[in-house]
Amino acid sequence: MTLVLSSDSQTPDSARVEEHLASIVAPLGLRIQIVWVDRTAPEAEWNETLSDAYQNPWVWMAVAALISIGALAGLKALFWTLFWGTAAWFTSKFFIFLTLRRRMGNFSLLLRR
């Protein structure tokens, strides 16, 4: 059995942790291999993000939709679909920002009174 343990840094008592885990699993008749992962490594966050993306059904839906649009409608239709979808996303973010800013402005006026 392989155990993947993460830590903020490689601790000096990692050997003690490995021995303790091996003693717990040994009565079950299993051999363990422990792999330490340093969460402060620059590639750790990227790997975690990729892992989350692989397991997200929305990502697979988007990939399948892009492939089908490109195959059925052509690259020109794919480009314009992505263009207008991106424009709509930025427009919605802008209006949400304005709405929240107005609400916070009204809230700050109430606090001043």
Would 110 be classed as within a structural domain? no
Would 111 be classed as within a structural domain? no
Amino acid making up residue 92: S
Query: Does the predicted TM-score (pTM) go above 0.95?
Result: no
**pLDDT on residue 19:** 86
**pLDDT on residue 25:** 85
Q: How far apart are CA 22 and CA 38, in angstroms?
A: 21
Question: What is the pairing mode between strands 33-38 and 2-7?
Answer: parallel
Q: Are 69 and 77 in contact (CB under 8 A)?
A: yes
Domain count, the chain: 1
Q: How far apart are CA 44 and CA 7, in angstroms?
A: 11
Would 88 be classed as within a structural domain? no
Would 66 be classed as within a structural domain? no
Instruction: Determine the structural domain holding residue 24 and report its residue range.
Output: 1-54
Would 69 be classed as within a structural domain? no
Would 17 be classed as within a structural domain? yes
Amino acid making up residue 93: K
Would 64 be classed as within a structural domain? no
Would 82 be classed as within a structural domain? no
| Each residue's pLDDT expressed in tens, for the chain with a length of 113 residues | 888 777 765 555 777 888 888 888 888 888 888 887 776 777 767 777 778 888 889 989 999 999 999 999 999 999 999 999 999 999 999 999 888 887 776 655 555 55
